[in-house]
Amino acid sequence: MPIRTSTAVWEGSLKDGKGRMKVGAGVYEGPFTFASRFEQGPGTNPEELLGAAHAGCFSMALAGDLSQAGYVPKRISTTARVKIELTPAGFKITRIDLETEAIVEGISEALFLARAEHAKKYCPVSQALAATEIGLQAKLLP
């Protein structure tokens, strides 16, 4: 299996500095700052990129689980909301909420929800983030 690589460079102090993150072979490269991370400034931040990775991983894991059960999904759309808080020990990602909607013909809602819970538990990103509380809201669309 390949090793995936991303890079980040930060220049300056936490509050006044600035940085750039590059994902993979340059498919995304962009700025990040204190304001883009802890306020509403322009740019991205590690939590948004982590959320994108988690949403993508979960969607693929759910597609795999459903397909293995004989139900090939037409579409899976997932949003990840990553919550970062200042704790007595410093900043910490305290919760990630996954919200997914899927179109899967012929599956019961109960089986769909069970497969979604399984995917949440076993997708590689969820496993890497096991110390973080992960919530799931899954909806089967007609």
Residues 26 and 69 both lie in one domain: no
What is the pTM assigned to this prediction? 0.93
Q: Among 43, 59, 44, 52, which residue's Cα sits nearest to residue 103?
A: 59
> How many domains is the chain built from?
2
pLDDT of residue 99: 98
Phi-psi region of 41 (alpha: psi -120 to 50; beta: other; left: phi over 0): beta
pLDDT of residue 26: 81
| CATH number of the domain that residue 130 is part of | 3.30.300.20
Domain hosting residue 15, numbered range:
6-38
* CA–CA–CA angle 139, 37, 43 (5° rounding): 90
Which H or E element spans position 21? Answer: strand 18-23
Residues 22 and 68 both lie in one domain: no
Give me the mean pLDDT over the 117-138 stretch: 97
Q: Residue 122: CB partners within 8 Å, gap ≥ 6?
A: 61
